[in-house]
Structure 1
Amino acid sequence: MTKRMFDFLVALIALLVFLPLLLVIAWQVRRNLGSPVLFRQIRPGWHGHQFQLIKFRTMRDVQGEDGRQLHDAERLTAFGNFLRSTSLDELPELWNVLKGEMSLVGPRPLLMEYLSLYSPEQARRHEVRPGVTGWAQVNGRNALSWEDKFRLDVWYVEHRSLWLDLKILLLTVKKVFAREGISAAGEATMPKFTGSKSREKR
């Protein structure tokens, strides 16, 4: 079985199985955070091609007196934090997998603005489809530094296989229940990537 076929079948089954849960979460997001229920953002996918990532909203859309959006920690609610810590906010990404924009396993899709900041080695993370979960997620998640995350992403690119994907999926379930590595130290989520140290030295 090919990776794409595996992704499609598992995503389709998961969407059908989790449909009642998806509807309940959507209702709770609407009730706690208002509309829209889904967070949509353009992210770089396979070979850097753009796609629209979808997930459940976890933050309030509020601005300060200066009109600027407040910091993540100020917009993240207790309900949103629960969705993030349990990874339930990621469930709509199964639709991205079904469409072929993402894989179940692969480097997480980050921001478009990061593309120009990667070193050539780090940019290799785009040699595969981005994933709902990945090798970096089961080895520290947001508790890792950006350098370590990218190193693990490239390791996955070089060693990817269906058996490794199965291992990562099983480890993901374990990590979700343990709620480990949800955020970086002193951050609500993860600080922005501003460029690699190795890139800056050149």
Structure 2
Amino acid sequence: MKRLLDFTIAATGLILLAPLMGLIAIAIRIDSPGPALFWSQRFGRGAQLFAMPKFRTMRTDAPQLPTHLVKDSASLLTGIGGFLRTTSLDELPQLWSVLVGDMSLVGPRPALFNQADLIEMRRENGSHTLTPGITGWAQVNGRDVLTLQSKVALDGEYHRRQSLLFDCRILALTFVKVVRADSIQH
């Protein structure tokens, strides 16, 4: 049921949001040199690598590290990058990953290829078996301001509590958090 819901919402979202996504891509290309999309190597379900698209918010010479490990990451943002991150519009291309089954709408955020510590902690609590999500229980409970240990604990809690009703609650909370731009780190 979850996969059918993910597919339906992702397909509908990609169709309805195509004009907006086209405008964002044009704005990125006008704002800074380089591609509009950034394909990040991420670990998905069972620690399998996949390429996850995002609208590019950083200069092309920015290091591929988690935001909290980049010294003065704000200085690496493109002119439009801060706005895209604050509004979470940079995440829209991930609907493609949901459509093809690499991601779900709700689940733990996919780990970067160089986050061995995160992957190991998720193995320990079983949340590595989940399909990663665009949003998740950790994102609505603090997102970028949480410690890695807190995120993983929340991923484990999601693993134990997951249900269609819980996913709907997380999606609703995500909408509220995005509108209020809560806990977003540049």
**TM-score relative to the length of structure 1:** 0.82
- Establish whether residue 178 from structure 1 lines up as the match of residue 177 from structure 2: no
Q: Which residue of structure 2 lines up, in the alignment, with residue 143 of structure 1?
A: 145
- Establish whether residue 38 from structure 1 lines up as the match of residue 37 from structure 2: yes
Q: Which residue of structure 1 lines up, in the alignment, with residue 65 of structure 2?
A: none
Q: Which residue of structure 1 lines up, in the alignment, with residue 112 of structure 2?
A: 111
Aligned Cα root-mean-square deviation (Å): 1.8
The total of aligned residue pairs comes to: 178
1:63-142 map, 5 Å: 72-115=73-116, 118-119=120-121, 122=124, 124-142=126-144
Letter in 1 for 2:74: A
Gapped runs of 5+ residues in structure 1?
64-68, 189-202
Cα distance between partner residues in 2 of 1:10 and 1:62: 34
Higher helix share: 2
Contact 2:34 2:60 in 1 (8 A): no
**TM-score relative to the length of structure 2:** 0.89
TM-fit CA distance, 1:41? 1.5
TM-fit CA distance, 1:37? 0.8
- Establish whether residue 25 from structure 1 lines up as the match of residue 27 from structure 2: no
Cα distance between partner residues in 2 of 1:140 and 1:70: 21
Contact 1:58 1:77 in 2 (8 A): yes
TM-fit CA distance, 1:82? 0.7
Cα distance between partner residues in 1 of 2:78 and 2:132: 27
Contact 1:58 1:89 in 2 (8 A): yes
Cα distance between partner residues in 1 of 2:177 and 2:30: 28
Q: What SS class does the counterpart of residue 18 from structure 1 fall into?
A: helix
Instruction: Write out the 4+ residue segments of structure 1 that deviate beyond 2 Å after TM superposition.
Output: 69-73, 115-125
Letter in 2 for 1:77: T
Q: What SS class does the counterpart of residue 156 from structure 2 fall into?
A: helix
